[in-house]
């Protein structure tokens, strides 16, 4: 598949039109998306963190995402879906991280000027909420569960990620 076709697929997943079952089972695609997720996440975090904190945070983020995905897939007896599910999660994560960068940069500029930016903050909150909905959509399809179960699992992942980051990287800005 050409890059444009992959991008179109991942945008359709973000729009909740397609799911992880539509992602090709490809270790090469998984590795490429994993690297891209790391790079886009690092870029996003560098708007609020030092390079060291951002690198550590991304290593933690990637590790947690992969371990959490593997654990829930095993718990629901669906480990064969790991490549497709994590590729979808990582790919849509890339798209959201790219959307976050200008907003985070703008909010840092506003914060430095001691001003308020309620509209930008609202947009960021909406993007984060949409991201959670898309993750729940991917988990729902990957595990063949109802949306409330998928949403609870998504919230568990987010809480685990936030708490781990606060515990292990207390100096981080995000």
d(CA 137, CA 12): 12
Considering the entire predicted model, what is its pTM? 0.91
Answer whether 69's CB lies under 8 Å from 85's CB: yes
Query: And the tokens for 40?
Result: 């886009």
Answer whether 97's CB lies under 8 Å from 41's CB: yes
First CA to last CA distance, the chain: 36
Residue 32's CB is within 10 A of a number of other CB atoms, namely 16
Query: And the tokens for 116?
Result: 């308020």
Tens of pLDDT, residues 120-130 = 778 889 999 99
Tens of pLDDT, residues 42-61 = 998 888 889 999 999 999 99
Query: And the tokens for 62?
Result: 């990637």
Answer whether 55's CB lies under 8 Å from 42's CB: yes
DSSP string for 91-156? HHHHHHHHHHHHHHHHHHHHHHTT---HHHHHHHHHHHHHHHHHHHHHHHHHHT--HHHHHHHHHH
Tens of pLDDT, residues 63-109 = 999 999 999 999 999 999 999 999 999 999 999 999 988 888 888 78
d(CA 40, CA 67): 20
Q: Classify 144 in phi/psi space as left (phi over 0), alpha (psi -120 to 50) or beta.
A: left
> Percent helix, strand and coil across the chain, each rounded to 5?
80, 0, 20
């Amino acid at each position: 598949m050409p890059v444009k076709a992959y991008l179109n697929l991942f945008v359709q997943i973000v729009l909740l039109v397609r799911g992880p079952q539509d992602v090709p089972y490809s270790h090469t695609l998984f590795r490429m998306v994993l690297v891209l997720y790391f790079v886009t996440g690092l870029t996003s975090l560098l708007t609020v963190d030092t390079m060291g904190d951002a690198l550590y945070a991304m290593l933690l983020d990637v590790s947690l995402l992969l371990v959490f995905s593997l654990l829930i897939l095993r718990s629901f007896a669906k480990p064969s879906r790991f490549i497709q599910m994590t590729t979808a999660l990582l790919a849509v994560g890339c798209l959201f991280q790219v959307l976050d960068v200008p907003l985070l940069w703008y909010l840092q500029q506003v914060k430095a000027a001691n001003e308020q930016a309620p509209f930008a903050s609202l947009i960021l909150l909406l993007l984060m909420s949409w991201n959670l909905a898309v993750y729940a959509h991917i988990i729902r399809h990957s595990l063949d569960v109802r949306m409330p179960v998928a949403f609870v699992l998504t919230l568990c992942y987010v809480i685990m990620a936030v708490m781990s980051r606060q515990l292990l990287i207390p100096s981080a800005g995000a």
